[in-house]
Amino acid sequence: MDGFCLLYLLLILLMRSGDVETNPGPNTAESTVSEMEFLKLAQDIAPSYYNAVGISLGFSYAQLQAILAENLKNYTNALLDIFMKWNVKQQPPHSDKRQLLADKLREIDLGGLSDGLLSGSPIPNSTGGPPRLLESQTKPPSAESQTKPLSPELVERCANDFKFKYRSTVCKIRADPLNPTSIVQFEDLHTNLVLQEEHGTGKRLLDYNDIFDLKVNGEFPKRIMVQGEAGAGKTTLCAKIAWDWIEGRHSSYFVWVLIVPLREFKQHTIGQIAKSYLAQNNPATVYQITEYIRSNPDKVFIAFDGLDEVSGKIMKTEPCGSQPTDQMQVQPTRPSVTSSEACGSSSETDDIGLVDILCSDQLASCSVLVTTRPWRSVEIRSDGDLTRLYTFIHVEGFNRENLSVYIHKYFPKNKDKANQLIQFISENDVLSENMAHYPIYVAMLCLMWKELDKQKLKEMKSLKTFSQIFKEMIAFLKEHYAQKEVKRVDSPPLIALLKKIDKDLVPIAKQALNGLLENTLVFGEDDFKICPESKDTACRVGILSQEDRITADMEPHERHSHVQLTVFFPHKLFQEYMAGVHLASLYKSDRNKFNRLIEQVYPRRKEEFRYLLYFTLSQNKSIATHIMNSMLQGVNRHFLDMDKELPFIADVAFESLDPDVAALVKDRVSSEEIVLSISEKMTAHTVAGFAFIVPHVVKLYINRDCGPTMSLDVGEMICSMPSLKEVSLQGAFHHCFFATLAKKGKESKKDINGLFTKAAAVLTKAFKCEY
């Protein structure tokens, strides 16, 4: 006892003399960060933040590149290596490493991960057990405040932050689809789209205003799949939903509307995404947001935009406990964690993976809308249980009335110019049938109509394919930029500048293909670090866009030069076109690689890479012939699937516009007894493809109305197919159909064409068609 008293007295004296601190520093267990927490952070941080994280932790750029190379460019492993090296570095005495790391993460705009690190609750400890607890087995006050339910006031504050986010980003329309600064107010340019709801085996028109009045067994559907071709307006539909929520229309009865562009959030959970939309000073945590959604699913509407823009499988075909082989990358991927996590479980983080929502394993009673290109919906449709949960809607783009409204909005002060473009499109049947339905193409036509001279506008009349319009658009962008720099047309300096632009775009095309094959649609600046000048040129021309994520409300100390700026193509179609340019270049430079890539694309992933094939094959005749030969070699002559393979081949062949390619296809299927049925499901592009290759069809059934181009194509086919024995026509036709039969039927000696000639002569007279 005496010894204890002496020791106590000595301690008091030392404290008074200042040799012993009254507060020796943070609790060691609470101030350190476990290896599992470092791993979780490494997995949750996007590769685009790699340099920002490393530099903020004191590593040089050279060190970061060396670490990345050592880890074979695996960003997760490289980040984990950085955290481990930082963890053993000498820190200030009694420093709280957890707080230090959290501060660094917040400085580089990773506030959500910073909050999780400080609260401790979302991150498992190193043993994989429950979250850290104090000796009293209760959460500290700071953690409790971050995990208690959101107050009504904070719920409303979050909603207001979401609305501000959408006003600032999602609900801004570019008058020039390639220029990020050409922003107009949403309603100044937005035009409603044609929507159709699947009903039984058919479709029925659906007015946009009725979307939120849909009923399935008396209730609003909990899962909606919105399909549409590239450029049909799927993203605009999501923006319209957000806008109406902001303005208190239609979706206003939802407390929160969350618009999630999947191309930007492949490895995040719904709570993390929502948190990233909030203002910097909003105290709501990921945990609180997730729990609000989980507890109030009927008050939250989630729209996932671009399911086709992420890779892997949606369905978890492997049972939990086994290792899935190709899981969809829209949830945190954790290669070193438990099998339950690999199957999409969020039990340890209490957050909700996006796959779990898509499969309705989580938030089953929350209303969720998903947009995609048609090919990607097949996976959900092929699952009997899952497909019953979804209501399917199709975005068909513009009809004639929508087209007129959009163009007049584009030229609000020049009605004559708008009417001239509308007339031009209506007279150019290829544009009106194949492209005028798609807002992305209409926007491009408006831009060219606004800027091109009369001679160039005349040349536009020859456009027939998607490849042609993109080729013209890219050429227009290059010339438009070059002429800003060099005013004199056709001068040597202008020609030299155009050649330099072409050279600068070569590595951009290569990156486009690499990204497309990996389903990477949003890039970081580091992805172009070996060709920064090329990136800058592409941005100035308009083929790339660059927007930084540094917001105006950030504090000055939070604005760091090393924060990654996102780089992306203005639309996936532009990336696909540039990827096609690079793939075509491999035909000469690396034929083996070219062939390997074509084999990867066709037939296994042909729908996914349909436009890549279009744009590659259209580059020159030799490539078109080579690709078509490769495609035809994969088709068994005696088991050709008429419903799938031949229409696809006709589409691809048409993009070449090469008669030798058409002859190649025709000869390849010459022995087939082809029965061709043209229904509402077949596009004008495919019909044009069949008219182009003129296969040996013996029976032709037309079960749809046909506009000018399609009427002309069908008339040409009837008069050009020597093996045709039977024709059935059910639908309305343009008068040029009958005029074509009357004119070309006379040239044929076939009885069937003679009969058409007699019938067409009467119809031609009735329609007053003169030839």
- Identify whether residues 228 and 375 lie together within a single domain: yes
pLDDT in the model for residue 766: 42
Map residue 27 onto helix, strand or coil. coil
- Identify whether residues 705 and 758 lie together within a single domain: yes
Query: pLDDT digits over 743-759, tens only?
Result: 776 665 554 444 454 44
Average pLDDT for the chain: 78
- Identify whether residues 577 and 660 lie together within a single domain: no
pLDDT in the model for residue 147: 66
Q: Is residue 134 part of a domain?
A: no
- Identify whether residues 119 and 206 lie together within a single domain: no
Which tokens hold the place of 554? Answer: 């950030």
What does 370-404 look like in DSSP terms, one character per residue?
Answer: EEE-GGGGHHHHT-HHHHTTEEEEEEEE--HHHHH
Q: Is residue 295 part of a domain?
A: yes
Lowest-confidence region among 11-25, 555-569, 642-656, 743-757: 11-25
Name the most confidently modeled range: 300-309, 522-531, 711-720. 300-309
User: For residue 561, is pLDDT > 50?
Assistant: no
Contact 668, 636 (CB under 8 A): no
Q: What are phi and psi of 302, to 5 degrees?
A: -120, 130
- Identify whether residues 265 and 310 lie together within a single domain: yes
Q: What are phi and psi of 371, to 5 degrees?
A: -105, 150
Domain span at residue 87?
A: 26-128+142-147
- Identify whether residues 306 and 159 lie together within a single domain: yes
Write down the residue that tokens 């399909």 correspond to.
Answer: 227
Mean pLDDT in residue range 2-12 = 43
- Identify whether residues 79 and 206 lie together within a single domain: no
Q: What are phi and psi of 300, to 5 degrees?
A: -125, 135
User: For residue 127, is pLDDT > 60?
Assistant: no
Statement: the pTM of the whole predicted model exceeds 0.75: no
pLDDT in the model for residue 486: 85
- Identify whether residues 604 and 624 lie together within a single domain: no
User: For residue 586, is pLDDT > 70?
Assistant: yes
Higher per-residue pLDDT: 188 or 237? 237
Q: Into how many domains does the chain fold?
A: 5
Q: Is residue 323 part of a domain?
A: no
Confidence band (pLDDT; 50, 70, 90) for 436? confident
Contact 250, 312 (CB under 8 A): no
Mean pLDDT in residue range 426-430 = 72
Query: pLDDT digits over 26-70, tens only?
Result: 444 457 788 888 888 888 888 878 888 988 888 888 888 888 878
Higher per-residue pLDDT: 72 or 701? 701
Share of the chain above pLDDT 70, in %: 77
Mean pLDDT in residue range 110-114 = 78
What CATH number is attached to the domain comprising 287?
Answer: 3.40.50.300
CA-CA distances (angstroms) from residue 48 to 54, 147, 366, 549? 12, 29, 31, 12
Query: What CA–CA distance (Å, rounded) separates 577 from 440?
Result: 14
- Identify whether residues 92 and 165 lie together within a single domain: no
Confidence band (pLDDT; 50, 70, 90) for 622? very high
- Identify whether residues 77 and 57 lie together within a single domain: yes
